[in-house]
Structure 1
């Protein structure tokens, strides 16, 4: 960011006084208030309205206990939440967008400058279609997810199957690279299958180069291809409640193992449960509790 203001570090020669270090590593020098924070960057080349960003995200997230948003410059902002639960809800609900541009979010503890964060990854639910039912299962979903990026979750039924028009896999991907459209899978007897990848809640991306953050009008590769290699067909609608499977299997971020969680069948309550941690509740038990509430 400083180079955009005319400062070129590789051209600067420090004076003797400027090279003297001030030691600030003592515990008394450290603030303990940098917690429950995320740094966000709007993926766009356009200048953003920070006032509008604050208003939009507060309206989207609707937290009762407050949310502090501080402008950091360079399309970046610091989001400080009232508690870890609210922060977790936001992370589990990605991707988020501002004016149809992707809002990249990253954990932040204050130990480095926000500009030093690698703000190039985001998690998406990806619908995988054209896959034979025999291979629509938890194990294959995990392997596909790890091939696309960092696997996070797969939606299946009680038997571990993701049968249907498509299988849903949640993956953390590098958004600085072109979106993957297809994947070749080698099945039994070396038979090959080409699956189609579609992304839920996909914000603005370029139909020419396939990269998020700009459209064809501002693409540097404009005019190189006769036909657009990407298109609106890569955007997937979120499945209806009746089309959802009732279990999401999440990969434990510490052990790397997959842990099942039963769906609550509503997006808000599902996100709420993710924030509270991994636990299993059957939809039948929920229905009973709603129909026959416990009277004390």
Structure 2
């Protein structure tokens, strides 16, 4: 008899923040999305109350890895820019290790690091949650 099977790939909308408007293309969304997982969909969405649009990708996110906070991309002029990522409708995740499924108070890595006096500053935070979801 085998135990329960848990999905490790979860379809998740990921938003790109900090991109210049002229860079917001489905093609770029697909390329960036491929670095996060297999891309299911890419589109531009209106931001409520603003002229700007948001580039989003729906990817099969591997939840056995920590959430990525940002991604570096190079433009046509070879200038590298860092783009922030925000995730839509993600559940609990740990601000200490970046993994989905638990919070800091239940983080084995945090407990182990604290026990040996090697506790680190939290690198993840609520800012990874997308405030606005949906809306083309």
The two structures share one fold, judged by TM-score above 0.5: yes
Unaligned runs of 5+ in 1: 3-73, 77-114, 158-162, 246-296
Number of residue pairs matched by the alignment: 125
Deviation of 1:225 after TM superposition, in Å, equals 3.9
Which whole-Å CA distance do the structure 1 matches of 2:32 and 2:128 have between them? 17
Tell me the distance in 1 between the aligned counterparts of 2:9 and 2:133. 24
TM-superposed deviation, 1:165? 5.0
The CA distance in 2 between the partners of 1:204 and 1:164, in whole Å, is 29
- Select the residue among 197, 218, 224 that pairs with 2:85: 197
The answer on whether the counterparts of 1:208 and 1:225 sit within 8 Å (CA) in structure 2 is no
- Larger RCO, structure (CA 8 Å, separation 6 or more): 2
CA RMSD of aligned residues (A): 2.1
Decide which structure has greater helix share.
Answer: 1
Runs (4+) of structure 1 exceeding 4 A deviation are none
Counterpart-to-counterpart distance in 1, 2:85 and 2:34: 14
Q: Distance in 2 between matches of 1:218 and 1:151?
A: 31
> Under a length normalisation based on structure 1, what TM-score does the superposition of the two structures give?
0.39
Q: In the alignment, what sits opposite 2:130?
A: 236
Asked if 1:131 corresponds to 2:10, the answer is: no
State which structure, 1 or 2, has the greater radius of gyration over its C-alpha atoms. Answer: 1
Q: Secondary structure at the match of 2:35?
A: helix
Query: Is the 1:145–1:152 contact (alpha carbons within 8 Å) kept by the matching residues of 2?
Result: no
Q: CA separation in 2, counterparts of 1:198 and 1:189?
A: 26
Task: Determine if contact 1:129/1:165 at 8 Å carries over to the other structure.
Answer: no
| Paired position in structure 2 for 1:170 | 58
Mapping 1:252-263, distance limit 5 Å: none
Structure 1 residues 228 and 171: CA distance shift in structure 2, 3 A: same
For 1:238 and 1:141, how far apart are their aligned partners in 2? 18
SS in 2 for 1:214: coil
What aligned pairs does 1:1-296 form with structure 2 within 5 A after superposition? 76=4, 115=5, 119-156=7-44, 164=52, 166-222=54-110, 223=114, 224-239=118-133, 244-245=135-136
